[in-house]
Structure 1
Amino acid sequence: MQATLEDLGQLKRAFQIEVPLEEIKSTYDAVYQRLRNTRLNGFRPGKFPKGWLDKRFKIVMQQEVEDTVIPRYLNQALHDHELSAATQASIEALEFNRRSPLSAKLLFEVKPDLELPDYTKLKLERRTPEEITKEELDKEIEGLQQSRSRPVAKDNPVVEDGDLVRIDFEGTVDGEKFEDGTNENIVFIIGSDRHPELQPHLLGMRPEETKEVDVTLPEAFEEDAGKTAHYTLILNSVERMELPELDEAFFANWGVNTEEDFRE
C-alpha cells in the first residue's frame, strides 16, 4: 500500500491511497465467491441474470471497502506518517474492479499541536459556589423525571398537551408539495419544539382520524416561511407520558437513596 499525504491547509489533510492488485486481490476474490454462493429464486445454483454478479460485486465490494479495507489502510497510513486524526475520514474518490488496483482519496482533519502554558505560573482565585435554590432543584428533578418518562396507553385516546403522538402529514403550498412538508409515522410530544405549527391542530384528535388544516409556515421553513400551507393530518396513535415515581429506585440512578439526599 502506498499513501501520499496532501496538506490542504490549517488542519485539513488528504491521503491518496493506492493498493496494488496483488495485495487487494484476496479481498476481491472473497467477496466474489460469497456472491457466487448466492441462490436466486428462479435460477439454478450458480446461475444468475446476465451482469448480476458484476453489478452486485461493485455494490458489495464498496461496502466492504468502506467498512474494513479503508479503515485498515487509513490506520496504517496515519501510523506511517505519525499523524493523529481528529475526525472520521470521508471518501472523496474511490476506484476499483476485480482486475485492477484499488485507489481512494480520503479527507480528514488532524489534531492541532498545542503548547501548554506553564501551569506553575497560573494564579487561581477561590470562589464560593452559589447556593442552589429550592425552585432550581424542583426544576432539575422535574426535568430528570421527564427524561425517564415512558409512553403508556390512554383510557380515552384523545390528544392532549404532553401526549406522545405518531402522525402522517402531507402539506402543499398553492397545490405544490414543499421541502419538509410531507412525512410518515413521525413521533413527537405535544408541547415539545417539534412541528409547533401542527401541534394546536392535533389537540382533540383520535387515532385514525384525518383533519384538513391551513397553517402559516414559521421561519424554520426558510424560503417558504410566511406562506400558507394546506395540510392533511392523520393521527396514527396517541399515548400519555407516565412520569416515574420519586422513589428509591429513581434516585439510585444518581447515586443517592432519597429525594432528601439528592437535594443535599
Structure 2
Amino acid sequence: MAVTVETLEKLERKITLSLPTASIQGEVEGRLKRLARTVKMDGFRPGKVPLSVVAQRYGYSVQYEVINDKVGEAFSQAANEAKLRVAGQPRISEKDGAAEGEMAFDAVFEVYPEVKIGDLAEAEIDKLTAAVDDGAIDRTLDILRKQRRTFAQRAQGTPAEDGDRVTVDFEGKIDGEPFAGGKAEAFQFLVGEGQMLKEFEDAVRGMKVGESKTFPLAFPEDYHGKDVAGKTADFLVTVKNIEGAHLPEVTEQFVKSLGIDGGTVESLRADVRKNLEREVKFRVQSRNKAAVMDALMAKAELELPQGIVQAEVQRLLEAARADLKSRGIKDAEAAQIPEDVVRPQAERRVRLGLVVAELVRANELQAQPEQLKAHVQELASSYEKPEDVVKWYYGDRDRLAEAEAVVVENNVTDFVLGKAKVSEKSVSFDELMAQN
C-alpha cells in the first residue's frame, strides 16, 4: 500500500490511499459465498441459492461495505504509521487516475492541534473563600420553620402585612376588556414572598378585610402570558380574609417533627452546619474552577479542529431542542435554531477541553482511584443511604465517568492555583448563595 500525506491548511491533512483491486474483489467474493450459505430467497432452499443470483441481488451492497472496510483499515494503518492524531471522521472520496489494478482514495481530515500553554506563574487569579456562620444556620432554620408554619385568623380591622396569607377576589382589564387568567375568586397567596407581581403585592399590603382597591399593573415584557406581556392592566381587588402566620419555635419537639427521632436542637444545628458547609465547598470549588479555566484559556494558544467544533455545535443544538421539548414546546425537535447562537459556546468547550487534556497529560493529573472514591462518597453523604448511592455510581460507567471528570477538573484547579499568583477573596455566605 502506497501512502502519501499532504498538509492542506492549518490542521487539515490529506492522505492518498491505494488499494489493490484484486484484494477488494477477493473479499467481495468471500463475503458473497458466506452469504449464499444462509440467505433465504423465494424459489430456493436455504443454502442452495446460486452464487450468481446472490451476486446479482447483493453484489453492489457487499462491494460498498468491503470498500468502506478496506479504506477504513488502510486509513487507520496509514495514520498510525505517520503518527497522526486524527480529530473527527475523515472525508473519503474515490480518486481518478489510479494505476492499473488499483483503486485510489483521498482521505481529508483534521489532526489535533499542538497546545501551547504559557507561563502559569504569570496568571493572576482571585481565589474565593467563604465560611458558614451562626447567622446562616439561623436563616436556614427559619426556612424550615416557615415550611411548617400555621395560620390563624387575624383580628378584624388589622391591615395585611408581609408573611400574612390573604384571600382575595380580583379582576383585571386591559383597555376596559377582561382577559384570560385575569379574574379569580377566593384566591390565596402569601404577602411579601414573590408569589404575585410586585405591584399586586404592594396594592394588597396594608388593606383590611372588606376593602377594595383599583390599581394599575404593568406586565413585564418577558411575562409568561404572551397575550398580556408588556401591557398594563387595571385591577380591582377585594380582600376577603387575612390570616397571620405562626412559626414554631426550634425545640426538641420541632426537631422530632422533622423526622429526627431522639435529636436535640444542638444536633439539628450541627446537621444544618454540615450540609451548608458541603454546599459552600461545592460552590466555592465551582467558582474557583471557573476562574482557573478562564486563566488557562488566556494563557493557551491553539488552532481549533472545525470538525470537532461542528460536532459540538450539533450536540448543543440537540440539547436546546430537548430543553424546548421538556417545556412543552410544539414540534421542538424541528425547531430552527441558528448555529451562530451556540457556536461561541461550542468553540469555548472544545478549546477548554483540549487545553485541559494537554495539562492533564503533561502533568499526570488523571483521577486516582482513591480520589474518585472519596468524591463519590462525599456526593453520597447527603443521602439517607449513602452506600446505595455509592453503588449507584459504581454500577454505571457513564455516571462514574461524570464523577471522574469532576475529580480531574479539581486536580487541574489545584495544580493551576499552585502555580499562579493567587489573591484570596473572602465572600459572605449570603453573597455566595445568591450567585448562580
The normalised TM-score by structure 1 is: 0.48
* Higher Rg: 2
The normalised TM-score by structure 2 is: 0.29
Instruction: Name the structure, 1 or 2, with higher relative contact order (CA <8 Å, separation 6+).
Output: 2
More helix per residue: 2
